[in-house]
Amino acid sequence: MSEAERSTGGLTRRGFLKGAGATAGALGLAGVAGMTATSDWLAPTKAHAEGEERVAHLCHQFHCLTGCNLKCTIRDERVSLIEPSDLAEESHRTICLRGINEVAHIYSQDRLQTPLKRVGERGEGKFEQISWDEAIKTIADALKASQEKYGEGSVFIRKSTEASIGFDFLGQLLRADQGGNWGLDRGQPNGMTPAFGAYSYCPSRSIHEFSDAATIIEVGHNPLESGIVWSRALMDAVEAGTYVAVLDPRFSGTASKANQWLPVRPGTDAAVIQGMIRAIIDNQWYDEDFVLAHTSFPFLVERATGASYRSATDMAPNPAVVSGEPVGAPYVWDTVTNAPKLYSEEGVVPALEGSWTVDGKELVTEFTLMGEWLADYPTSWAASKSGIDESVIIDLADRYANNGPAIIDYGLGGPDKYTNADVLGHSMSILTALTGNYGRKGSGFGFYGGVGADDPAATLNPWLLPEEYGYNDSGMGMYDMPYHENNIHVALTFGDAFTLEAANANDMLAWVKSLDFFAIIDIYHSSAVDYADIVLPACTKFECEENVKQLRASFGHVMLANGMVDPLFESKSDLQIERLLAAEWGLDHLLPETYEELARASLDGVEELDENMKGITYDALLAQGGCMALPGTGPDWRPDGHADQVYGTPSTRIELYYEYLLGQGHQFPVYEDANEAYEDNPIKDTYPLYFTQGKSRYRIHAYYTASPWFQEDYGPCVNIGPEDAEARGIVTGDDVRVFNDRGSFVCKALVNPSMQPGVLFMAETTYTRYYKEGFLQNVTNSARNERCYEMYHGPQIPYNDTLVQVEKA
């Protein structure tokens, strides 16, 4: 008998795992602590029996922005070793601690094991085990009752990002509301898209081009933790001699590898960028040829109204502008004929600056107006606002403008999570355009790493539902639901949307508690689980009812998960859970029966649609072990995006004057303080510390919180600078209370010299159950910037725009 068999009393591994859930239930799940401790009977060391062994492959995470292919050794039906996959291209055989750590994470104590029904108050976390039949019927009854009484849109169904990869059927079948605009990761893009076109935040050139740049500025981006695999391209550039400057309030991992760290005051990056713009204008470091040929700066504007001076000939609306109506073609001032001419007319030599009167109207160029706007913002202002020396700002401007080609790589965390992020995005657009650092080798601007063109893309067919099915969109973002009247009465989420994706948890959870019903489908006991009426256990990526699981196109490869382990405990795959629920409405026949059917459909005929997909069929994939590279994948892949200088705007140029924001006075990125996190805020007397958050290499958002390895050293902990700690009598390891008017939480303190005075940092997020009290989302800011409702990506959640006080708990 193998050791594994002995330790389970002779039951086979599969049989035992199935039985374990039932036992847990029989013990009565009074609170999470009562759940079966998986750690002792599934400790990794116990898997070293001679038993059966095989290899499985799958695409790991999406939300770390990579998707490595993992090679998993399955021993006695237990995942016991994880290594980089030898099926991937050599340059793409990557893995990180989170991948290796799945060996423990899959079997961790926080796995949801059986369907649960709430027995205590919402938030108390008291449950009893119920059967799948009862759980599914209870959910269906609640959803049906709500839709009958309040209409289809009264049901809220949302999948967390990671859970939504591949398919998203149920919400569409029930025509539920999915909570509208997400309010995540599009703050700077809000300020960039009207200039460069929709989705321009995804760069059109490869991250491997970093090595071709002379200068790279990382604006609040910490790829050494938030883009572990992609940070290799940054380090290659450092080795190639590229100068790297990092703007970050703390001395981040990325700052530690850079040539220069600019310890910016939180929420003030736009001031640094505007100081650079000012220096470039004052010193005439801009690229006049580029500006005249490829930007809107020479376009004419009527001074009195601020409207651009245009012909009657309609041009397409700007796809990146919400109030996008067709516009006329813009005019420039032609210096040859000394008259206004259509910008695109042959032979025109436009003026960059000036003022002219035509038909009694004064016309000026956008460039002239920009100079007038900037007149009020000298570089000394930028320095005092941001805390960065004036000479440092001017030197960086010099380097950026005159030591090109240069790249601006921004993160979607950091400065994105303040109410003024659009001002920063717009400012960086102007800086980039002025210096011509776009569309040329070694230049660029955007969020590099994983979402753009960093690898060739694959083509997969979507699984189509009949036309009549689709989400019902009330137009209200989830972040607005606690604050505005709405028609949501019941909710079902795949993953923890309510406490992970929303700030100011006390407001959000008060709203959740007011709902008639809430059910969650999650793998782990995430923070929102405690508020649910019914909980369904989903299985991990490594488990499935079939041999294959998800097909994914990611990281330059097409990957079909195969060699899966049976779902642990009583958990089920998301597809089977969606099917069980859909069956309650008699709609399960519209869904694929299996992951195999879905994968086959995704690949059916794609060879004819896309040259890159030649030879990548379902059977070929399986025969190859489940992973095939797309042609060109690797560090030599260099798409030549925007070399033609043609942009997705009406004029096809970079359009920097945002006429659609005239009513708000933001046609230029007029500086604005953040909502709460700014020096002169009167509440700073009470809450003097900036509470910034960001990603940790040990987690993907809250995911991996449940890993026992990581818990030992990387549980919830707030980083505080030595001066601030000393003033409060705090030393490393102390329990501290972090609080403001919105709420409070208690966690450990880490006194960290990387923090500048007055600034705290904490890795988002961690399941509530690991805190002594509360959790970080209790203090974060949920303010919505009115101006952003006009913007392409809508208001963004300003988690970092938060002031707090800290004391020893």
Ligand X SMILES: Nc1nc2c(c(=O)[nH]1)N[C@H]1C(S)=C(S)[C@@H](COP(=O)(O)OP(=O)(O)OC[C@H]3O[C@@H](n4cnc5c(=O)[nH]c(N)nc54)[C@H](O)[C@@H]3O)O[C@H]1N2
> Which residues are near ligand SF4 by CB under 6 A?
60-61, 64, 66-68, 94-96, 98-99, 228-229
Residue-wise burial string across 66-80, b where 16 or more C-beta atoms lie within 10 A, e elsewhere? bbbbbbbbbbbbbbb
- Evaluated on CA atoms 111, 114, 120, 122, the torsion sign reads positive
| Rounded Cα–Cα distance for residues 784 and 422 (Å) | 13
Half-sphere exposure of 639 (CA within 13 A, CB side): 17
* CB neighbour list of residue 206: distance below 8 Å, 6 or more residues apart: 453, 454, 455, 637, 638, 639
3-state SS, residue 808: strand
CB under 5 to 8 A by kind: which of ligand SF4, ligand X, Mo ion, none does 68 bind?
ligand SF4
| Beta strands at 78-84 and 116-118: parallel, antiparallel or unpaired | unpaired
Please, what is the minimum distance in Å from the beta carbon of residue 577 to Mo ion?
25
CB under 5 to 8 A by kind: which of ligand X, Mo ion, ligand SF4, none does 67 bind?
ligand SF4
Which is nearer to ligand X, 352 or 539 (by Cβ)?
Answer: 539
| Rounded Cα–Cα distance for residues 377 and 361 (Å) | 28
| Rounded Cα–Cα distance for residues 96 and 92 (Å) | 12
Structure tokens of 242? 């590229």
What number of chain residues touch Mo ion (CB under 5 A)?
1
Structure tokens of 166? 């591949």
Please, what is the minimum distance in Å from the beta carbon of residue 184 to ligand X?
5
3-state SS, residue 537: strand
Residue 140: exposure state from Cβ atoms within 10 A (0-12, 13-18, ≥19): middle
Please, what is the minimum distance in Å from the beta carbon of residue 640 to Mo ion?
28
| Rounded Cα–Cα distance for residues 675 and 785 (Å) | 8
CB under 5 to 8 A by kind: which of ligand X, ligand SF4, Mo ion, none does 225 bind?
ligand X
- Which residue is nearest to Mo ion, using beta carbons? 185
Q: Backbone dihedral region of 317: left (phi > 0), alpha (psi from -120 to 50 degrees) or beta?
A: beta
Q: Contact, 67 vs 552, CB < 8 A?
A: yes
3-state SS, residue 719: strand
Which is nearer to Mo ion, 399 or 784 (by Cβ)?
Answer: 784
- Evaluated on CA atoms 758, 279, 289, 324, the torsion sign reads positive
Chain-centroid distance, C-alpha 480 = 19
Helix (H) or strand (E) holding 17: helix 13-26
Helix (H) or strand (E) holding 213: none
CB under 5 to 8 A by kind: which of ligand SF4, Mo ion, ligand X, none does 697 bind?
ligand X
Which is nearer to ligand X, 214 or 234 (by Cβ)?
Answer: 234
Q: What is the CA radius of gyration of the chain?
A: 28
Which is nearer to ligand X, 101 or 765 (by Cβ)?
Answer: 765
| Rounded Cα–Cα distance for residues 116 and 129 (Å) | 5
Please, what is the minimum distance in Å from the beta carbon of residue 101 to ligand X?
12
Which is nearer to ligand X, 291 or 763 (by Cβ)?
Answer: 763
Which is nearer to ligand X, 110 or 212 (by Cβ)?
Answer: 110
Please, what is the minimum distance in Å from the beta carbon of residue 664 to ligand X?
22
CB under 5 to 8 A by kind: which of Mo ion, ligand X, ligand SF4, none does 95 bind?
ligand SF4
Please, what is the minimum distance in Å from the beta carbon of residue 68 to ligand SF4?
3
Which is nearer to Mo ion, 162 or 584 (by Cβ)?
Answer: 162
| Rounded Cα–Cα distance for residues 441 and 138 (Å) | 58
Q: Contact, 385 vs 671, CB < 8 A?
A: yes
Please, what is the minimum distance in Å from the beta carbon of residue 187 to ligand X?
10
Minimal CA–CA distance to 529: which of 196, 81, 143, 32? 32
Which is nearer to ligand X, 308 or 752 (by Cβ)?
Answer: 752
Angle between helices 574-583 and 132-150 (to 10 degrees): 60
CB under 5 to 8 A by kind: which of ligand SF4, Mo ion, ligand X, none does 718 bind?
none
Please, what is the minimum distance in Å from the beta carbon of residue 287 to ligand X?
26
| Rounded Cα–Cα distance for residues 722 and 714 (Å) | 20
* Residue 501 engages Mo ion in binding (rule: CB under 5 A): no
Which is nearer to ligand X, 47 or 689 (by Cβ)?
Answer: 689
CB under 5 to 8 A by kind: which of Mo ion, ligand X, ligand SF4, none does 764 bind?
ligand X
CB under 5 to 8 A by kind: which of ligand SF4, Mo ion, ligand X, none does 639 bind?
none
Task: Give the footprint of ligand X on this chain (CB under 6 A).
Answer: 63-65, 160-163, 184-185, 219-222, 225-227, 247-250, 252, 264, 266-267, 269, 411-415, 417, 494-497, 500-501, 521-524, 526, 538, 574, 692-697, 699-703, 761, 764-765, 776-777, 780, 799-800
Please, what is the minimum distance in Å from the beta carbon of residue 246 to ligand X?
8
- Across 142-214, the runs of DSSP E, i.e. the strands, are 155-159
CB under 5 to 8 A by kind: which of ligand X, Mo ion, ligand SF4, none does 182 bind?
none
Which is nearer to ligand X, 287 or 574 (by Cβ)?
Answer: 574
Which is nearer to ligand X, 401 or 424 (by Cβ)?
Answer: 424
Which is nearer to ligand X, 47 or 244 (by Cβ)?
Answer: 244
Please, what is the minimum distance in Å from the beta carbon of residue 427 to ligand SF4?
32
* Residue 218 engages Mo ion in binding (rule: CB under 5 A): no
3-state SS, residue 53: strand
Which is nearer to ligand X, 226 or 459 (by Cβ)?
Answer: 226
Half-sphere exposure of 254 (CA within 13 A, CB side): 36
Part of the chain binding Mo ion (CB under 5 A), chosen from 185-193, 476-484, 717-725, 753-761: 185-193
Part of the chain binding Mo ion (CB under 5 A), chosen from 177-185, 286-294, 379-387, 632-640: 177-185
Read out DSSP for 138-157?
HHHHHHHHHHHHH-GGGEEE
* Residue 185 engages Mo ion in binding (rule: CB under 5 A): yes
Tell me how many degrees the CA angle 803-806-809 measures, rounded to the nearest 5.
Answer: 145
3-state SS, residue 254: helix
Which is nearer to ligand X, 382 or 700 (by Cβ)?
Answer: 700
Residue matched to tokens 């490595």? 68
Which is nearer to ligand X, 155 or 776 (by Cβ)?
Answer: 776
Which is nearer to ligand X, 114 or 222 (by Cβ)?
Answer: 222
Minimal CA–CA distance to 288: which of 442, 434, 431? 434
Please, what is the minimum distance in Å from the beta carbon of residue 525 to ligand X?
9
Q: Which amino acid is at 436?
A: G
Chain-centroid distance, C-alpha 389 = 31
Please, what is the minimum distance in Å from the beta carbon of residue 107 to ligand SF4?
17
Q: Contact, 806 vs 738, CB < 8 A?
A: yes
Which is nearer to ligand SF4, 162 or 353 (by Cβ)?
Answer: 162
Size of the chain in residues: 809
Q: Is the link from the previous residue into 405 a cis peptide, with omega within 30 of 0?
A: yes
Please, what is the minimum distance in Å from the beta carbon of residue 331 to ligand X?
38
Part of the chain binding Mo ion (CB under 5 A), chosen from 23-31, 97-105, 180-188, 563-571: 180-188
Chain-centroid distance, C-alpha 656 = 26
CB under 5 to 8 A by kind: which of Mo ion, ligand SF4, ligand X, none does 701 bind?
ligand X
Please, what is the minimum distance in Å from the beta carbon of residue 561 to ligand SF4?
13
- Which residue is nearest to ligand X, using beta carbons? 413
Part of the chain binding Mo ion (CB under 5 A), chosen from 182-190, 277-285, 621-629, 738-746: 182-190
Part of the chain binding Mo ion (CB under 5 A), chosen from 80-88, 128-136, 184-192, 792-800: 184-192
CB under 5 to 8 A by kind: which of Mo ion, ligand SF4, ligand X, none does 673 bind?
none
Please, what is the minimum distance in Å from the beta carbon of residue 336 to ligand X?
45
* Residue 409 engages Mo ion in binding (rule: CB under 5 A): no
Residues that bind Mo ion (CB under 5 A): 185
